[in-house]
Amino acid sequence: MEQRLKELLDSSMKADSSKTRMGMIYAILAGPALGLALGLLGLMVGKAPFNLEYPTGGWAIVEVFQIPFALLAFVVFALCIGNWREIGRIWTSRIAWWTLFTGTGGFLGDICYACSVVLIGGAVAGPIGGLYGLVGAVIVSSLYKENIKRWSTLVGLVLTSIGIWIVLGGASLVSPTHGIYMLVGVLIIIGATLTWGMENFSIAAGTDLMAPETVLFYRLLFTLVIGSILLYVLFPVSRHMAALAFADPKLVTFGAVIGFSWIIWMLMGYYMGIAYAGGVRGGVLAGTFGFFFIAFFSMTIYNVPFSYTVIFGSILLFAGAALFVTEPKELLASKRN
């Protein structure tokens, strides 16, 4: 009997290990999609019609293009694979509503990112925004009683701090503003990391009991409704922006690229990465690796002035964050159990 129990435990551990590795792979592979989406967003905020209002033109892109096209892509995905049935499960689960409430707050991070890009550019906002994975890891580890107090964590914090310092040092080369405006942009994106960090934990908690798709649909739907109402009420000029944007087929195509690429990262790297690999491993990799590509794509295919300083600082950020997920032989799933 004891031998059989041991075999079952070993089999369960191997299955959990495979699931964790798969989640980490998802988080890494989805990184370029985020760079493609938000790097393009950073390029569009400085162009008409989104430069009519400063700095909320970035918010308009999120509500006019990013969220609607992402929602459309998700609905098509859910219908094709049959996961649309999972969407209704939220009505029968209390944890789902708590998760939705916390996760929907993540749209504040989306808005903050879009506004900060106007002030400091995607090449700077991207690497700093990637810190949300570390914020989420700290929250998840604290509430799940997961021990991350290791030598690698300390080294990771040191590398992360150095990476941020180097990125900020190169900001003067790639940021469209300087002085107090650049400082405000940095503070805004730091605020976004706190919101996303809480969303990271809500995903980790909610997907323990339900499929990631269950909450993601409502996260997108509520973000579209709430964000659009706030945008149109607080910034009436956004209505004019939306009309001009949808009248230009080229801008609509760019908007579709942003929305479709962003939902690939949200579904594959963010929600599934965290659901499979946990809020520490999945969240850190989805955040730092994905946001690294925002900086990289911004300074390559999107023609922001190239800075080796920012690239080097971003690499240090990712290296430091990766040390948070190095924990041989111990699995997040077994700790939760």
In a domain, 305, yes or no: yes
pTM: 0.84
Which residue type does 237 have?
Answer: V
**How many domains does the structure of the chain reveal?**
1
- The tens place of each residue's pLDDT in the chain, 337 residues long, gives 555 555 555 555 655 666 777 777 878 888 889 888 988 988 888 888 888 887 778 888 888 899 999 999 988 888 887 766 777 766 666 777 777 777 778 888 888 898 888 888 888 888 888 888 888 878 877 776 666 667 777 787 888 888 888 888 877 778 888 888 888 989 999 999 999 888 888 888 777 677 777 778 888 888 888 888 888 888 888 888 888 888 999 999 999 999 999 999 988 888 888 877 777 778 888 887 888 888 888 888 887 778 888 888 888 887 887 777 665 444 444 544 5
- What is 143-190 written as a DSSP string? HTT----SHHHHHHHHHHHHHHHHHHHTHHHH-S--THHHHHHHHHHH
Q: Which of these, 288, 290, 295, 292, lies nearest to 323 by C-alpha position? A: 288
Residue 331 is predicted with a pLDDT of 45
Residue 333 is predicted with a pLDDT of 47
Q: Is 50 exposed, middle or buried (0-12, 13-18, 19+ CB in 10 A)?
A: buried
Q: Which domain holds residue 289?
A: 26-336
Q: Which long-range contacts (CB under 8 A, 24 or more apart) does 242-250 make?
A: 242/60, 242/64, 244/48, 244/49, 245/49, 245/50, 245/60, 245/64, 245/65, 246/64
In a domain, 14, yes or no: no
Residue 260 is predicted with a pLDDT of 94
Residue 335 is predicted with a pLDDT of 46
- What tokens appear for 78 in the block? 């859910």
- What is 181-234 written as a DSSP string? HHHHHHHHHHHHHHHHHHHHHHHHHHTTTS-HHHHHHHHHHHHHHHHHHHHHHH
Distance, in Å, from the CA atom of 194 to the CA atom of 59, rounded to the nearest integer, reads 18
Residue 302 is predicted with a pLDDT of 84
